[in-house]
Amino acid sequence: TDYSITVDPTATGPKIDKTMYGVFFEDINRAADGGLYAELVQNRSFEYSTDDNRSYTPLTAWTVSGTAQVVNDSGRLNGRNRDYLSLGAGSSVTNAGYNTGIAVQDGKTYDFSVWARGDAGSSLTVTLQDSGGPLATARRIAVKKDGWARYEASFAAGRTSTTGRLTVAADAATSLDMVSLFPRDTYRHEPNGLRKDLAEKVAALHPGFVRFPGGCLVNTGSMQDYSEASGWQRKRSYQWKDTVGPVETRATNADFWGYNQSYGLGYYEYFRFAEDVGAMPLPVVPALVTGCGQDTAVADDALLERHIQDTLDLVEFANGPVTSEWGRKRAAMGHPEPFHLTHIEVGNEENLPNEFFARFRQFRAAVQAKYPYVQVISNSGPDDAGPVFDTAWKLNRAAKVDMVDEHYYNSPRWFLQNNDRYDSYDRSGPKVFLGEYASQGNAFRNGLAEAAYMTGLERNADVVKLASYAPLFANEDYVQWSPDMVWFNNHASWGSADYEVQKLFMTNVGDRVVPSTATGTPGLNGPVTGAVGLSTWNTGAAYDDVSVTAADGRTLLSDDFSGDASQWTHTGTGSWTVQGGRYVQTDDTAENTMVQAGDVHWHDYDLHVKATKTSGR
Ligand code: AHR
């Protein structure tokens, strides 16, 4: 078939903003700890808890030789860092890092630090080794005073290894907290910095904005603070004040995605990263309506007031003069200059549009009264179609919202068929922030479908003002969500085909659309094999009658779980069982996925997946 494209260079289309394409960073798939945050020690402050993940203990990732116990008492380092390790005389602890271990490179320097409380005159010996022997010369640290103090040492790696271990041994009884090892060679050599290869992959995109920190991470869990009055609650929504200041005072939290988040990568680091890569920072704050299956509207005026004040304080933290309360804290962290925050998003995919809007309007009114130059972005609910989406859009229009965040994850075929989605959007209504989208898969065809779709975004650049693929990162050994743009383990990273497409568009943002017309639509053909995954989210989640049918009606997979489930392969860390003809998750982790390979063909890719949920998520 012949296809033709006609371009009219004399006609002018919409202007394309330099900020049009950006990235969305969420701490999912261990994107932060064990990922972008360069810390090499896992569970450095012994705060892992069964609240984070049923399989965790305060000694997860550590092994003890001799005597050691994790203590939670008034002798702690500070009130927000509850646990510490009490190590017996002549004993040691060894950390296993992430993935296969601590990765070091021959010739590079690694900075160790620890908070320790021992008897003045005693000493710690710190070693970095793998099964082949030492990776660097051991360091001896003299304990200089009786109370808590921070000690440092550095290692020059004499060998490359991806299976390193860090051991701290004490000659006398000593308490330890915040045991840390960083590569000196972080992105831009910043302290408490970011892993260089991952940060460079983002920088190479030249993103126009960085949306952070989530996603479901933001508006799930309790909206309470971390305090004695709240019972030192874990499983809190992401609250930015928890994440700034000295790292040893940042109370860790249970990540919605089933693990512990140290908050070593916090709001200061996000702002700094956005600045470093030349992007506009775009933080998301919770609106006191939980989402992502939790779907509760929190009715507590005092708490709402506090969160609104936190949002105003966030603008002051980002932009305020060093004489202001929060500007001073930013300066104390090393950045007296402002971060030039101009956009804030309130909420993420709320399933209760009326309740969300009642709260959104209050956030927006407060921000606009104090900072009229800050644009407050709203959203359109969890789905891109259906009643919540329709109601949310009606409310957004009625409230004359500046910009609405839409999210969708669909088949490549959907992306090819919906290139014209924004052609008919109301030009006088709110602008669109396509904050999360991806076609289901990381293959070349996915990148191709997204590239085709992005031409539709660009053609409508007068309506679609911002767009970001999601999620950004996945550690290959801790996956809750796939596909993802950039994959990594403890020593390597690689971009997907989708990453290359994003890079192509982001590094070639035009000034203005040149109108064009095309004849014909190329067809899709060619066989590929595929797999179907079923993910569950919490204990007791149960599914029955899973089926996948192709566009032409053929059944590709069907399982009522009445037989055995041996045809399914289990991935992730969760466990499951088949009970009473249902697939049931038996532990509380968000990483529970089982996959069945099938013979899916390209032209069948418009798949219809059905599963009956009998309980849970
Ligand atoms: O990108 C992964 C998740 O998808 C986000 O947390 C959420 O906003 C969406 O449902």
ipTM value of the model?
0.99
- Report angle CA 394, 400, 405 to the nearest 5 degrees: 70
Distance separating alpha carbons of residues 438 and 414, to the nearest angstrom: 11
Q: Is the CB of 436 under 6 A from ligand 1?
A: yes
Instruction: Assign 1 a pLDDT band (cuts: 50, 70, 90).
Output: low
**Is residue 602 scored above 50 in pLDDT?**
no
Output the residue whose Cα is nearest ligand 1's atom 5.
215
The dihedral through the CA atoms of 459, 460, 465, 469 has a sign that is negative
Task: Please choose, from the candidates 311, 340, 323, the residue with its C-alpha nearest in 3D space to the C-alpha of residue 241.
Answer: 311
Within 264-396, strands assigned E span 280-285, 343-346, 375-379
Tokens of 68: 């050691």
Q: What are the pLDDT digits (tens) for 91-101? A: 999 999 999 99
Q: Domains in the chain and their CATH numbers? A: 23-34+195-220+250-517 (3.20.20.80), 62-185 (2.60.120.260), 530-615 (no CATH)
The single residue listed with the structure tokens 């089926």 is 547
Instruction: Assign 504 a pLDDT band (cuts: 50, 70, 90).
Output: very high
In DSSP terms, which residues pair with 166 in a beta bridge?
A: 95, 128
Of 23, 218, 289, 292, the one to substitute when testing ligand 1's pocket (max ligand atoms within 8 A of C-beta) is 292
Q: State the chain's maximal CA–CA distance in angstroms.
A: 83
Q: What value does the mean pLDDT take over residues 397-410?
A: 97
**Is residue 354 scored above 90 in pLDDT?**
yes
Cα distances (Å, whole numbers) of residue 364 to 20, 284, 302, 406, 573: 23, 13, 17, 18, 40
- DSSP 8-state symbol, 33: B
**Is residue 54 scored above 90 in pLDDT?**
yes
Residue tagged active-site, from 349, 350, 436, 458 = 349
Show Cβ contacts of residue 335 under 8 Å, excluding neighbours closer than 6 positions: 268, 271, 272
Ligand 1 centre to CA of 217 (Å) is 8
Contact 69, 294 (CB under 8 A): no
Distance separating alpha carbons of residues 86 and 174, to the nearest angstrom: 6
Tokens of 169: 């041994």
Output the residue whose Cα is nearest ligand 1's atom 6.
215
Which helix (H) or strand (E) covers residue 369, if one does? helix 353-370
In DSSP terms, which residues pair with 141 in a beta bridge?
A: 124
**Is residue 606 scored above 80 in pLDDT?**
no
Helical spans, DSSP H, in 434-530: 444-459, 497-506
- In 3-state terms, the chain is what percent helix, strand and coil (to 5)? 20, 30, 45
Of 407, 468, 537, the one to substitute when testing ligand 1's pocket (max ligand atoms within 8 A of C-beta) is 407
**Is residue 512 scored above 70 in pLDDT?**
yes
User: How much is the pLDDT for 112?
Assistant: 98
Strands 139-142 and 259-261: unpaired
**Is residue 604 scored above 70 in pLDDT?**
no
Question: Catalytic: 349?
Answer: yes
Distance separating alpha carbons of residues 403 and 450, to the nearest angstrom: 22
pTM of the model: 0.86
Cα distances (Å, whole numbers) of residue 75 to 70, 81, 83, 118, 160: 12, 11, 9, 12, 39
- DSSP 8-state symbol, 207: -
Distance separating alpha carbons of residues 59 and 47, to the nearest angstrom: 8
**Is residue 611 scored above 50 in pLDDT?**
yes
Q: Is the CB of 44 under 6 A from ligand 1?
A: no
Distance separating alpha carbons of residues 104 and 157, to the nearest angstrom: 7
53 φ, ψ (degrees, to nearest 5): -165, 135
- 260's torsion region: left (phi>0), alpha (psi -120 to 50) or beta? beta
User: From the alpha carbon of 292, which atom of ligand 1 is closest?
Assistant: 10
Q: What value does the mean pLDDT take over residues 345-350?
A: 98
Q: What are the pLDDT digits (tens) for 270-313? A: 999 999 999 999 999 999 999 999 999 999 999 999 999 999 99
